[in-house]
Amino acid sequence: MIITHVYTYTLNNCMDTNFEYYYNDVPGKGLCRNNLIYTSLISKDQKTFCQWYHNDTDYHRGQNQVVDPSLMQEKFDREIKYLTTMSQVYPDMVPKHKIDFLNKKIYLEIDGPDMWERAGCTGTDYSHIVSDWDVQMLKIFAAHKSLGLYKYSLHPSSYFIVNGKLKSMNYFFTYDNDDSNISLRSVMSHISEDRQKDLFPKMAEAGIDIDQPTPHSEIQLLAFESFKTNFRNEVMDQAKNIYAHTS
C-alpha cells in the first residue's frame, strides 16, 4: 500500500472554505507550489482539485510568475478551451470538471494527490503507481496530435489518477495549428528556473533562438526532450515520434 502525503494550509482570503492550498513535498526542497501560474487548491476530502487563476501572493510566497491580469486571463481561457475540447473528443483522458467563470476557477474531479506526489516527487518511472502509465500517457499525446494541439506543460504533476486512469490537465500552456509561432523568451514566466537550466543547452543543440518565433512543432519536440528529467527517455522518444510523423 502506497501512503501519500498532501500538505495543505487553510485559506484566509478565499470564500471557498472547503478548499486548502495544495503543495508538492519535494525531497531536498520541502513544500513547493504545485504550479507557477495559477493557485492550486484541493478539497479537504481530496476529491476535487481547483485551478484558481488568481495571483495569490500567499500561495506563491512572493514568487508569482504571472502578475499581468491580461496574461492570467489568457491562461484561463486556454485552459478552458483545450480542456473542453479534450472532454468532448476524448472524455476519458481528462478529469470531469466544472467552471466558475466569475471567479476564474476550474474544479476537477480527482481521487487523491497528483501522480508526481504519489511517487514521492522523484524518479522517472511511475509503474508502481499505475502499471501502464506510459501507454496511457502516449495515448494522450496521440490524442493531442490528432487535434492539432501542442501542450508544453508536461510535468508529472499535470496528471491525476482516477480509477487507474491518467487524467491530463494544465492546458493553459497549450497551442494549436491556428496559433502563430512564439518565441520562447515570451513564455519564460511559464517555465521554472530548474527547467530553464535544462532547457537552454537543449535549445542551443536544436538550433532554437530564444528570441525568434519558433514553430510549435519544434517547441513540442523540445518539450519532450526536456521532460526526460521526469519521464523515462524511451517514453519521451516515443512521444517525439508521434509528433515527428505528419498525419
* The pLDDT value given to residue 3: 36
pLDDT tens-place string over residues 134-160 = 999 999 999 999 999 999 999 999 999
pLDDT surpasses 50 at 7 = no
Distance from chain centroid for Cα 200: 20
pTM of the full structure: 0.89
> Domains of the chain by range and CATH?
19-244 (1.10.510)
Give mean pLDDT, residues 32-51. Answer: 94
Give mean pLDDT, residues 93-104. Answer: 96
- Written as nine digits, the cell of 103 is 471567479
Give mean pLDDT, residues 125-133. Answer: 97
Distance CA 212, CA 103 (A): 35
pLDDT surpasses 80 at 191 = no
Measured at the CA of 194, the angle between CA 191 and CA 195, to 5 degrees, comes to 45
* The pLDDT value given to residue 67: 67
Highest mean pLDDT among 8-17, 96-105, 202-211 belongs to 96-105
- Measured in degrees and rounded to the nearest 5, phi and psi for residue 208 equal -100, 125
Q: Which residue has the higher pLDDT, 16 or 135?
A: 135
Give mean pLDDT, residues 163-178. Answer: 97
* The pLDDT value given to residue 74: 94
- In whole numbers, what is the pLDDT of the chain averaged over residues? 89
* The pLDDT value given to residue 2: 34
* The pLDDT value given to residue 30: 93
Give mean pLDDT, residues 219-247. Answer: 91
Q: Which residue has the higher pLDDT, 55 or 214?
A: 214
Distance CA 103, CA 166 (A): 27
In this prediction, residue 9 has a pLDDT band, given cuts at 50, 70 and 90, of very low
In this prediction, residue 6 has a pLDDT band, given cuts at 50, 70 and 90, of very low
pLDDT surpasses 90 at 243 = yes
Nearest alpha-carbon partner for 40 in 49, 29, 31: 49
pLDDT surpasses 60 at 17 = yes
Start-to-end CA distance of the chain, whole Å, equals 42
How many Cα atoms sit within 13 Å of 41 on the Cβ side? 27
* The pLDDT value given to residue 16: 64
Q: Do residues 159 and 169 touch, judged by C-beta distance below 8 A?
A: yes
